[in-house]
Amino acid sequence: MARDYPINSLGFAKPPAETRVVVAMSGGVDSSVVAAELAREGYDVVGVTLQLYDHGAALAKKGACCAGRDIHDARRVAEEMGFPHYVLDYENTFREAVIDEFADAYLAGATPVPCIRCNERVKFRDLLETARDLDADCMATGHYIQRKAGAQGPELHMAADPVRDQSYFLFSTTAEQLDYLRFPLGHLATKAETRALAARHGLSVADKPDSQDICFVPNGNYAAVIEKLRPGAADPGEIVDMEGRVLGSHRGVIHYTIGQRRGLGIGGLSDPLYVVRLDPDARQVVVGPKTALATRTVPVREINWLGDAPLQSRAQWQISVKVRSTRPPREAVLRPTGPDTAEVELLSPEEGVSPGQACVFYETGGSRVFGGGWIHR
């Protein structure tokens, strides 16, 4: 006679030992704690680490995820906790789906966010398929975001700790992916709790520093990486004001970002000037006063919508949005213009809104994430 089992902590009506979970392990403390906790609870844990770029180059670099050192650390945690661990070579996929687009977007004057594309195109697409191939019931990650049961199915919510919240980087998670994913750290109040759990499990990574950089951009030097990927990208050109008057010269558009004030090399002017636009075709950096940076209307495309009703079921939605990962959500009106395009009107203008960044949608005054899209001009 079949037994009725209570729902386990991952949401399945069967014993943990009969529930297989693939844990995406970067080698850092967060994903290591997820794997260790689930192994301690008795789940059938399989650890998977992605090798995303050249191993030789990776071994020489600290402070970024998925490097050779991190593969070693992930494997060691698996050995300590007694579950299988696999390393998958995703170098070609990563280069095509993430690095090449990053370089091209940067050359086009945008400010891309490759971590979002990596989650969207590698971790939550290809790795998720691998998890299904391994007959896993679900896939767990160490991201700080919450998955909550809703009336229409699983909902995406901000992490309990606003300092650690990673919802900005996960807006493109689809409803179907959300059904399969689990985020066991999202409810923790602080990062210190995660480190305490790592220490309790005796994990070798308990004191490992957090990665700060984009994994393939050592020391945050974007321009050096772009020059290596696209030789000739750093062609010099003119710095011009908003009327087109030449104020100076620059050493390549890729060295500048929207909103930048320092390092322009055009002294002797009474009012400070900021980069307001990049024109890679004309090889021009356009500068203007701070007021020129204020943006109220933001066109968004490639929208991933996670609301209960379809995006185009209303003429407009009252929401809050983030236009940069480091900024708090601001109130806005979302007006759909197509199946996956919209215009976002910010109720108070924001400075430094840049093409290539994400615009992420939130419930006003709440924690729910309604998806988001890409700012395109």
Does 215 participate in catalysis according to the annotation? yes
Contact (Cβ atoms closer than 8 angstroms) between residue 138 and residue 127:
no
Contact (Cβ atoms closer than 8 angstroms) between residue 145 and residue 114:
no
Find the catalytic residue in 66, 115, 215, 359.
215
CA 51/CA 71 separation, integer angstroms: 8
Whole-number Cα distances in Å, 169 to 44, 323, 353: 28, 11, 17
CA 276/CA 258 separation, integer angstroms: 5
Instruction: Match 């070693």 to its residue by tokens.
Output: 72
Between vectors from CA 12 to CA 10 and to CA 18, what angle results, nearest 5°?
95
Does 138 participate in catalysis according to the annotation? no
Between vectors from CA 71 to CA 147 and to CA 216, what angle results, nearest 5°?
80
Q: Tokens for 100?
A: 């090449």
Find the catalytic residue in 65, 115, 118, 359.
118
User: Measuring CA to CA, which residue among 126, 106, 102 is closest to residue 115?
Assistant: 102
Active-site residue list: 118, 215
